[in-house]
Amino acid sequence: MVKKVIIFLTFLGTVLISCSDNHFSQRNLSDSVPFDLDSIRTRGKLIAVTDFNSTNYFIYKGEPMGFHYELLKSFSDYIGIDLEIISENNLESAYAMLKTGEADLLAIGLTVNSSGKKDILFTEPFDETRQVLVQRKPRNWRSLTTDEIDRRLIRNQMGLAKKTIYVQKGSSHVERLLSLANEIGDSINIIEVPYESEKLIQHVASGEIEYTVCDENVALVNATYYPVIDVGTPVSFPQSQAWGIRINNSGMLQTELNKWITAYKKTGSYAMLYAKYFRNARSSTIVKSDYYALNTGKVSQYDDIIKESSTSINWDWRLLASLICQESRFNPNVRSLAGAFGLMQIMPETGRNFGIDSTATPKKNIIAGIRYINWLHTIFDPKIKDENERLRFILASYNAGPGHVLDAMKLAEKNGMDPQKWDGNVAIWLTKKSDPKYFNDAVVKNGYFRGTESVAFVSEILNRYEHYKNIIPEEKLK
C-alpha cells in the first residue's frame, strides 16, 4: 500500500535530485494588470486568495474560521470594504491568480526570502517560524524514553542525506531543502507534489510517506491531531512570514497593509487570534468533529434534510444551509423575541398557515420554511428577471416580509433607480423606509420599516454561502 501511494505521489510530483533549480514556474509577473488601493475601494471589495486547512481557513459548525481568514476580515473591516476569498491550495495556481489580477492579495504564509522578492512584494511580516522535519515516531514509541526515541529519529540535518522528502510544489520548503543539500554536501531526493503541508503530514502519520517538511507553527498544531508524528527537528533558522502583493501596484495597498499589520500585531486581539489557532487545546476536538467541513463536508446534523428539501425550490443545499445558519445557528430550540421559532425561525402566523407550531420537528420546520420560500418565488419570479438578483429579493423578503421589499422596489423606481437590482438600488430604499419622508410616500403600502437588518441579512447569507462553496464540494440536485 505504501509503495502504491508513493508511486502515485511521484507521478503527480516532480522529482528533484540534490540542487535542481526549476521550481516556481510563475516568474516575471505581468505588469499589465492595473492595480491600486483606489481601484479596490471603487470595486467595493478586497479579493484575496488563501489556502484551506485547519489553521488558515475552514468551516466549523457552519461558520468560516481560520487565522488568515480572520486577519483578512479584520483588515477589510479596517479599510471599510467587503472581503471576497478564493480558496486555493495549489501554490502555482494561487500565484497565477495574483499575476492575472483575479486576486489582489496572496494571503498565505509566505516565507520572506530574496528569490520570492523577484515575484511579489511582501507585506510587513505577521509571524515568524522555522521549518521542521515531520517524521513518524518508532512503532513502540509510547514505551520508549525520550532518549531512545531520539536515537531512532533524524535529529541532525546530516541525517537527511539520501532521504526522500515530499513537499508542497512551489513552496519555500523546496528552496530550503535545495540549499540544505548544498550545505551537507550530499543529495536529498525532493519530491514536489500538489498537496499543502497538512495533507502531507497526514500521509506521514498514516505511514504512506516517511518525511515531509513544513512550518513549525503548523506542524505543532498537527502534532496534537497525530501524536505519532515528531516535529522536533528544525531544518532552518526562524524565518519571517508575510502576505504577497503584485509588483505592479501603486504601493498604496502595501503601505496600508503594512501600517495595519504593524499596529495590529501589538494588540491583544492579535495575541488572542494567534493563540486561538496555534496554541489552542481544542484544535484537535474541532478537527475530529463531524462538523469540521474540510474532513466531512458537513455543516450541521440536519444536512440530509436540508439537501432533500432544497430540491423542491431548486436551490443549492449550501445556500439553504447558510440561510438556516443565519436564522438559528442550527439550533432547533431557539426562539426570537418576536416569537419566531425553530431552525428556519418561522413566525407564528406563518406557522399556522403551514400547519405547524413551535413543537414541530426540525424536518417539519424546514418544510414550512421551504413552502414559504416557494410562496415568495411566486411573488418575485414574475417581477425579477435575473435569477441572481431575484435570490437577493427573496432572501430580503424572508427576513422583512415581501410587502416592505415591494415598497422599496416602488420607491426605487419612483426615484430613478432600477427596481430589479438589489445592491445600490432597492437595498438603499429598503433602508430609507425608516425615514418618515419615505415611509409616508404615496407608493408605500406597508409603512415604517428598519431595513438595515434585512440588507445585512442578505449580505451575510450570501457571504457565508461563498465560504461554503470554497470548502464544501457541490452536490448536484436530483
Q: Cell digits for 58?
A: 475552514
pLDDT of residue 119: 72
> Does the predicted model carry a pTM greater than 0.75?
yes
Pick from 30-44, 184-198, 256-270, 461-475: least confident: 30-44
Q: What is the mean pLDDT of residues 421-450?
A: 97
pLDDT of residue 476: 53
pLDDT of residue 27: 37
Q: Rounded to whole angstroms, how far apart are CA atoms 361 and 368? A: 11
Please state which CATH class domain 2-24+131-236 belongs to.
alpha beta
| Residues carrying CATH 1.10.530.10, the chain | 303-471
Q: What is the mean pLDDT of residues 437-447?
A: 97
Q: Rounded to whole angstroms, how far apart are CA atoms 159 and 147? A: 17
- Is it the case that residue 21 has pLDDT exceeding 50? no
pLDDT over 70 percentage in the chain: 91
Amino acid at 151: R
DSSP 313: G
DSSP 266: T
- Residue 14: its H or E element: strand 14-17
Gyration radius from the chain CA atoms = 26
* Ordered DSSP codes for 400-429: H-HHHHHHHHHHHHHTTS-TT-IIIIIHHH
CATH architecture for segment(s) 37-128+241-287 = 3-Layer(aba) Sandwich (3.40)
CA distances for 137 relative to 2, 205, 229, angstroms: 17, 9, 6
The pLDDT confidence band at residue 139, using thresholds 50, 70 and 90, is very high
Q: What is the mean pLDDT of residues 221-226?
A: 96
pLDDT of residue 475: 73
* Ordered DSSP codes for 65-107: E-HHHHHHHHHHHHHT-EEEEEE---HHHHHHHHHHTS-SEEE
- Is it the case that residue 345 has pLDDT exceeding 60? yes
Beta strands in 211-340 (DSSP E): 211-215, 229-234, 239-245
Q: Cell digits for 308?
A: 432533500
Helix, strand, or coil here: 190?
strand
pLDDT of residue 477: 44
pLDDT of residue 7: 39
Please state which CATH class domain 303-471 belongs to.
mainly alpha
Q: Rounded to whole angstroms, how far apart are CA atoms 476 and 314? A: 10
pLDDT of residue 114: 54
| Residues carrying CATH 3.40.190.10, the chain | 2-24+131-236, 37-128+241-287
The pLDDT confidence band at residue 260, using thresholds 50, 70 and 90, is very high
pLDDT over 90 percentage in the chain: 87
Count how many residues are written for the chain.
478
The pLDDT confidence band at residue 22, using thresholds 50, 70 and 90, is very low
- Is it the case that residue 89 has pLDDT exceeding 50? yes
The pLDDT confidence band at residue 273, using thresholds 50, 70 and 90, is very high
- Is it the case that residue 156 has pLDDT exceeding 60? yes
Q: In the predicted model, what is the mean pLDDT of the chain?
A: 91
- How many other C-beta atoms can be found within 10 angstroms of the C-beta atom of residue 474? 10
pLDDT of residue 249: 76
